[in-house]
Structure 1
């Protein structure tokens, strides 16, 4: 016979299962999946030459059958066993994700139009998906480690969502959706975790783990710095700026010559996003023009020169 406290706990869990989790009250869940997307992106960058962007696009809750219906005949799913949770989870890639990853991993430059054929997945595509499933599972395991230590073992791969069983299909679950962008195209990855697995962790997931918001984690600070340094920016070298009236510009014709005051010894302004960065000198090397950085531009002085009358 169950005690009164056990009975109350069981009833409370049953009510929660029926109602669904309030994701707004589980901020740590967002942190976990953000970490997972960062880890996946970092791993994929080592596998391909083309830049790829991975991001958490949303969290939602619903019945397993309703979530999977959106991907029927359009995705491949990996079914994982989590022994410590005594349950299963699902990781899936939609068709666009698979097609994009095949192009990226096999060295495509994106010049060919994206594949839009709705066909069965090839053996190569399924083998690639299996490799990616295992890498994503490791990222998910590492991301959950501050809350609970568990392992995910891949049991099988399904291409029919009605066979992707991880519990009673009418049960509530949480789905995290991730967007992959590469070669001017992309796709979606999704992770489905039964709500019954997350219910015992509600308290831990309701608050950010100590040190996440107030203290600085050196490992994550280094990770963020590394990602920021990989950001591509456009540099523009400005030899001279001339100011013409609209009438003068309208009168310009092919063959007209615009005289500049600059000489080969004039300094060139190197800027990005309309903000001056360095003063440089122009030169030549092996038949090409080159710039030699001479001086860092004083941003405050540059701002005052722009806004104050001369």
Structure 2
């Protein structure tokens, strides 16, 4: 807030203007002086702040899914959070990669190009240790990965990549695929060193071990969908009302869903000793008669009545009636 001038200061300023000591034109020029913003042409800003913010929101959802998956798969406490989202040159990213490293080269279909999933060695070795039944304690010294360890990590990374689909679904339908795993950054040159990338760094904590998981997304790969990476577009697409086409898709998927069906011929009670003495050919008397309909359950709900029989030399059940809720 500007300072308030006293009456004596106002009188002095008016006096200076009248005598020519102060030039009004010079004051206007000073006021309208253009502000110059520094720009580094070696590191052009190709991602807007809004786009980086959208990438952060997407990968916050991804981190929650990854947290759930790793906690169940490793059977231990896992915490995954988005640490930073920034734009760098690929040269800066590749220089920061440790050696050895776990670099998953991922085909980011339907977009043309590849991204990199970089797992730091301490997290990678902890994953391997937990998968093989160990306690997941940090290693005292880093070594190269064996072929068996790379195979184990490939299984985990493939599942991680599948988790990309849901967070990105408001932008496009991803079909990511792991192409290969490299342990040396020199063999993972997916783009020119001077190209701009978006680097999403996740902080991963598995038990007592803490490390990083980096997701390198080149600007050239997601350039076709940059207009959709605005926060406004992303939230609008996520909260849009369902259309008749959406409802048809949901109905078709529901129709393809598998549900368990049980045909209960009858029930009875026998003792443990009778159960242990059962032999081939023994007859167990049930609480139903031959002419009585058997009950057919869909899930845990009684839905139909039927008759047992044979079809193409296989046991089958013929539905003869439908159970209504008021009849149950």
Paired residues for 1:194-273 under 5 Å: 194-209=218-233
SS state at 2:97 partner: coil
Identify unmatched segments of 5+ residues in structure 2.
Answer: 1-39, 242-328
Q: Which residue of 2 aligns with 1:19?
A: 44
Q: Post-superposition shift, 1:87? A: 0.8
The alpha-carbon distance between structure 1 residues 215 and 81, as it changes in their structure 2 partners (threshold 3 A), is closer
1:246-286 Cα offsets, whole Å, 9 max, x none, are xxxxxxxxxxxxxxxxxxxxxxxxxxxxxxxxxxxxxxxxx
Q: Which residue of 2 aligns with 1:45?
A: 71
Alignment pair present for 1:83 and 2:109? yes
Give the Cα–Cα distance (whole angstroms) in 2 for the partners of residues 177 and 211 of structure 1: 23
Q: Post-superposition shift, 1:69? A: 1.2
Q: Under a length normalisation based on structure 2, what TM-score does the superposition of the two structures give?
A: 0.55
SS state at 2:225 partner: helix
Give the Cα–Cα distance (whole angstroms) in 1 for the partners of residues 41 and 50 of structure 2: 13
The answer on whether the counterparts of 2:198 and 2:219 sit within 8 Å (CA) in structure 1 is yes
Alignment pair present for 1:54 and 2:83? no
The answer on whether the counterparts of 2:111 and 2:222 sit within 8 Å (CA) in structure 1 is no
Aligned length: 201
Alignment pair present for 1:132 and 2:156? yes
Give the Cα–Cα distance (whole angstroms) in 1 for the partners of residues 47 and 187 of structure 2: 28
SS state at 2:164 partner: helix
Give the Cα–Cα distance (whole angstroms) in 1 for the partners of residues 123 and 236 of structure 2: 31
Identify unmatched segments of 5+ residues in structure 1.
Answer: 1-14, 218-310
Paired residues for 1:96-175 under 5 Å: 96-109=122-135, 114-175=138-199
Q: Post-superposition shift, 1:185? A: 1.3
Q: Which residue of 2 aligns with 1:34?
A: 60
Alignment pair present for 1:188 and 2:212? yes
Q: Which residue of 1 aligns with 2:120?
A: 94
The answer on whether the counterparts of 1:28 and 1:206 sit within 8 Å (CA) in structure 2 is yes
SS state at 1:186 partner: strand
The answer on whether the counterparts of 1:18 and 1:172 sit within 8 Å (CA) in structure 2 is yes
The answer on whether the counterparts of 2:128 and 2:153 sit within 8 Å (CA) in structure 1 is no
Two-structure CA RMSD over aligned residues (Å): 2.8
Q: Under a length normalisation based on structure 1, what TM-score does the superposition of the two structures give?
A: 0.58
Asked which structure has the greater RCO (Cα within 8 Å, sep 6+), the reply is 1
The alpha-carbon distance between structure 1 residues 215 and 79, as it changes in their structure 2 partners (threshold 3 A), is closer
Q: Which has the larger Rg?
A: 2
The answer on whether the counterparts of 2:83 and 2:203 sit within 8 Å (CA) in structure 1 is yes
Give the Cα–Cα distance (whole angstroms) in 2 for the partners of residues 213 and 200 of structure 1: 17
The answer on whether the counterparts of 1:146 and 1:209 sit within 8 Å (CA) in structure 2 is no
